[in-house]
Amino acid sequence: MRNQGTISIQPFDMVLFGGTGDLVMRKLLPALYHQHQDGCLPEAGRILCLGRSQPDQDAYLAMAKKAAQQYLGEYFNDQDWGGFAGRIVYLKLDAQDKAAYAALADKLNELPEHVRVFYLATAPDLFAGICENLASVGLNKGGSRVVLEKPLGHDLASSQAINAQVGRYFKESQIYRIDHYLGKEAVQNLLALRFGNTLFEPLWRREWIRDVQITVTEQVGVEGRGDFYDKAGALRDMVQNHLLQLLCMVAMEPPASIDPDAVRDEKLKILRALRPFSAQDVATKTVRGQYRSGATAGKPVIGYQDESGIAQASRTETFVAMKAEIDTWRWAGVPFYLRTGKRMQERLAEIVINFREVPHSIFAMPPESQTANRLVIRLQPEESVKLYLLAKQPGDRMKLRSVHLDLDFDETFKTRRLDAYERLLMDVIRGQLTLFMRRDELDEAWKWVEPILDNWEQSDDTPKTYTAGTWGPAASSALLSRDGFCWHEEG
């Protein structure tokens, strides 16, 4: 079924730096194609793809078509592709060559009324130069927007340096820092669930919530990105951005409106209230792991150390579990357990809210599950919300059993599921900043993870190994069992 483009989108020029790269081929062009196919893009919307490796427009389109067939699957058809390809303009351009920007400016100045979006799908060390070059031909003016892909730095200092350099040429209101997890439908549904209903908000606090678990696990390994990943690791790659953003969405106070700064101010307060980790905390409240060979999805896979691009005896973590705490009246004493890893048993992304037990049970027979009420918001592989309750098991005895109310979005709405990038790209064109990270959020997130990174770096310990295709090192379960809990899938 086609989605309806209800809000009209202004004519735009979307300029994709890194136009021949993996992100553009795998995510950005397919996202724009879907929106084109659904009739949501204005006639005049153009996509300018910049790169060096393809000689001309024909060669670029041939490359893009091949990738589109691969990544769009059943949605690809020649007719829609023909129309979509008519929007694409390829410019052979070296992003570091200042002189080349005159040609880009000429192309864009053909249609001065268009919204201009510059999407920097390149290595972050090119961001400053690109922004400077854009400014040198006046392309940072007016309605221009710049989109920055992660990783935005390696630590607080490098992130601040990138932001300061970009900030020299673009105002904060023109800068869209992408965290694609915020574009996932289920994450926005969390906002709807919390702030569109009266049911949960009164219970959304320490008096009623026992613990929160945020899990994002993948079956894939480093997928040819060994060089990058080995210098990053799971804490930088996933926790500093995606998991912390999910935590903010769960924990933030109700914003006064959905306006970008109203939401981002509330997220920032949570990041500032995260309890800092001391050296002792790092030792007791974090677990890092690294996969060794094993099997995922029924196929044997090699260990991390044998992947290409990985340094000898690398100590990079491919798994992290940790206990975070938020020092506010609402959350004091409620642990937020975070967990992410590659080469895990399942691809799973979910937020689990475990409510407290009843203060006094009148039933002689204890239920099978000690947790009476649990809300599970699933982001992946399917999108769903499940609310677990205790009900009486049919029969002549008063035995309680856990059952759940189930909202399956695919089933309920029967509409194509938008990829996160589709939503976010359309938001950039609309000028809607709510789902993008503000500079101060990024700073706070780095400030919080840095002591962990530093402690790991200085420690003689190595990450605990785990067999590929499992739920990670045993220490991850022990982290929760010490508090009397267990991870949701094991419960």
Return residues touching ligand BG6 (CB under 6 A): 180, 218, 237, 349, 380
Euclidean distance between CA atoms 76 and 96, whole angstroms:
34
Q: Which is nearer to ligand BG6, 41 or 244 (CB)?
A: 244
Pairing of strands 145-148, 175-177: parallel
In total, the chain counts a number of residues equal to 491
Among candidates 445, 443, 460, 472, which has minimal Cα distance to 235?
445
Euclidean distance between CA atoms 280 and 271, whole angstroms:
21
Shortest spacing between CB 237 and ligand BG6, in angstroms:
5
Shortest spacing between CB 410 and ligand BG6, in angstroms:
17
Shortest spacing between CB 349 and ligand BG6, in angstroms:
6
Among candidates 440, 475, 167, which has minimal Cα distance to 320?
475
Euclidean distance between CA atoms 237 and 307, whole angstroms:
17
Shortest spacing between CB 378 and ligand BG6, in angstroms:
12
Q: Which is nearer to ligand BG6, 23 or 407 (CB)?
A: 23
What secondary structure does DSSP assign to 138-193, as a single string?
A: TTTSTT-EEEEPSP--SSHHHHHHHHHHHHHHS-GGGEEE--GGGGSHHHHHHHHH
Euclidean distance between CA atoms 214 and 243, whole angstroms:
7
What secondary structure does DSSP assign to 271-319, as a single string?
A: HHHBPPPPHHHHHHHEEEEEEESEEETTEEE--GGGSTTPPTT----SE
Q: Which is nearer to ligand BG6, 338 or 387 (CB)?
A: 338
Encoded tokens for 259? 């306006």
Shortest spacing between CB 152 and ligand BG6, in angstroms:
12
Pairing of strands 115-120, 145-148: parallel
Amino acid at residue number 16: L
Amino acid at residue number 300: P
Q: Which is nearer to ligand BG6, 340 or 371 (CB)?
A: 340
Among candidates 73, 44, 56, 45, which has minimal Cα distance to 20?
56
Q: Which is nearer to ligand BG6, 188 or 380 (CB)?
A: 380
80 CB contacts (<8 Å, ≥6 apart)?
33, 36, 37
The SS3 call for residue 343 is coil
Report the residue closest to ligand BG6, judged by CB.
237
Encoded tokens for 7? 């809000």
Shortest spacing between CB 379 and ligand BG6, in angstroms:
8
Shortest spacing between CB 225 and ligand BG6, in angstroms:
7
Shortest spacing between CB 398 and ligand BG6, in angstroms:
43
Handedness of CA 50, 7, 150, 464 (dihedral sign): negative
Q: Is 114 a catalytic residue?
A: no
For 145, list phi and psi in degrees, rounded to 5. Answer: -130, 145
Euclidean distance between CA atoms 91 and 52, whole angstroms:
8
The one catalytic residue in 154, 242, 360, 488 is 242
Does an H or E element contain 338, and which?
Answer: strand 336-341
- In a 13 Å sphere around the CA of 103, the CA atoms on its Cβ side amount to 13
Shortest spacing between CB 28 and ligand BG6, in angstroms:
14
Q: Which is nearer to ligand BG6, 138 or 224 (CB)?
A: 224
Q: Which is nearer to ligand BG6, 114 or 180 (CB)?
A: 180
The SS3 call for residue 484 is coil
- In a 13 Å sphere around the CA of 204, the CA atoms on its Cβ side amount to 17
Residues annotated as catalytic are 242
